[in-house]
Structure 1
Amino acid sequence: MGKRSAGIVLFRIRDGLEVLLVHPGGPFWKNKDDGAWSVPKGEHDDAEDPRAAALREFREETGTDLSGADLVELGAVRQKSGKVVTAFAAEGDFDPELLTSNVFEMQWPPRSGRTQQFPEVDRAGWFDADTARRKLVPAQAELIDRLERFLRQDSQQPRT
């Protein structure tokens, strides 16, 4: 089986639905925008629970702990690379100015023999649903559709 990732679609309702997306760090993504953003996510092995992995990765990529959040499973999508991303939704807020991402090392420039550190995520932002669909890696746009369907169904449920 291909690589597996898990992530969280953090959302809030302002003048409509807004979702938090993150932009990958490093030199390959520096000048890419539409089709390059992602939900905060990361890889996990078959032994790790996807929900636990999603919480861990959200914390590593944003610096914010959502361990007490109510998570709603949105299912999985398969990206062009073959990676399967399992996503959960959580309602909450986050100030993109407080982004604190973990880092990774890579040889840069290529074949230079020099290793540099880059943030795994270099920025975060809130986007309305239509803009998020355009910004996201194409396969992840389906997660916004699923979140919208869940919110419509949830709003029709009787409150006790």
Structure 2
Amino acid sequence: MTDAKRYRRSAGLLLFRRAGEHGVEVLLGHMGGPLWAGRDAGGWAIPKGEYGPDEAPRDAARREFTEELGVPPPEGEYLPLGEVRLSSGKLVTVWAVEADLDPALTVPGTFTMEWPPHSGTEREFPELDRVAWFAPPAARTKLMIGQIPFLDRLLILLAD
């Protein structure tokens, strides 16, 4: 197994705030780029990103938050939500942090890809093209399916 496969890990931060009739809302980002443009259900994600074997997961989560949203990660208590292995084999680790953030203040990072495919033209796209707060029922339909366990864990943690 190559190092790239062995260390396919991501870490992220799931912001939550106490609000609304459901008592809590979570901050999600809609995946940017042309492959996600027409997809709403299952097209939103917890701000996260990959890290290597020499970086601590929580440090990576904080770094990736800044890279993806363009704002510093919130201070406060970091509540571990554990790990989930995605169908791709990637291991994702997430912490929840209570904080309020105005989505209008975010300045998402970008990535470059060939688009249209096989055109030889490189284009730049935002990593996240929208950022918004959602109550748990809506978040459950918006989130990429492999990340729903983090929402469930947060709700259990807050109910205790």
**What is the TM-score with the length of structure 2 in the denominator?**
0.91
Query: Shift of the alpha carbon at 1:53?
Result: 0.4
- Alpha-carbon RMSD: 1.2
**Equivalent position of 1:70 in the other structure:** 77
Query: Shift of the alpha carbon at 1:47?
Result: 1.6
Q: Number of residue pairs matched?
A: 153
Q: Is the 8 A contact 2:111 2:124 kept in 1?
A: yes
Query: Shift of the alpha carbon at 1:2?
Result: 5.6
**Equivalent position of 2:57 in the other structure:** 50
Q: Which of 132, 140, 143 is residue 125 of structure 1 equivalent to?
A: 132
What is the SS of the residue equivalent to 2:137?
Answer: helix
Determine the C-alpha separation between the residues in 2 that align with 1:41 and 1:53.
8
Query: Shift of the alpha carbon at 1:78?
Result: 1.4
Matched residue type, 2:14: V
**Residue 141, structure 1, aligned to residue 144, structure 2:** no
Determine the C-alpha separation between the residues in 2 that align with 1:109 and 1:144.
34
After TM superposition, the structure 1 = structure 2 runs for residues 102-117 of structure 1, keeping only pairs within 5 Å, are 102-117=109-124
| Residue identity (%) | 48
**Equivalent position of 2:12 in the other structure:** 7
Q: Runs of 5+ in structure 2 lacking a partner?
A: 1-5
Determine the C-alpha separation between the residues in 2 that align with 1:77 and 1:133.
16
Q: Is the 8 A contact 1:77 1:139 kept in 2?
A: yes
1:37-94 Cα offsets, whole Å, 9 max, x none, are 1100000112210100000111111112125332111001112212111000000011
**Equivalent position of 2:106 in the other structure:** 99
Matched residue type, 1:41: K
Q: Is the 8 A contact 2:103 2:131 kept in 1?
A: yes
Query: Shift of the alpha carbon at 1:130?
Result: 1.3
Q: Is the 8 A contact 2:7 2:53 kept in 1?
A: no
Determine the C-alpha separation between the residues in 2 that align with 1:105 and 1:20.
25
**What is the TM-score with the length of structure 1 in the denominator?**
0.91
Determine the C-alpha separation between the residues in 2 that align with 1:129 and 1:44.
28
Q: Structure 1 runs of 4+ off > 6 angstroms?
A: none
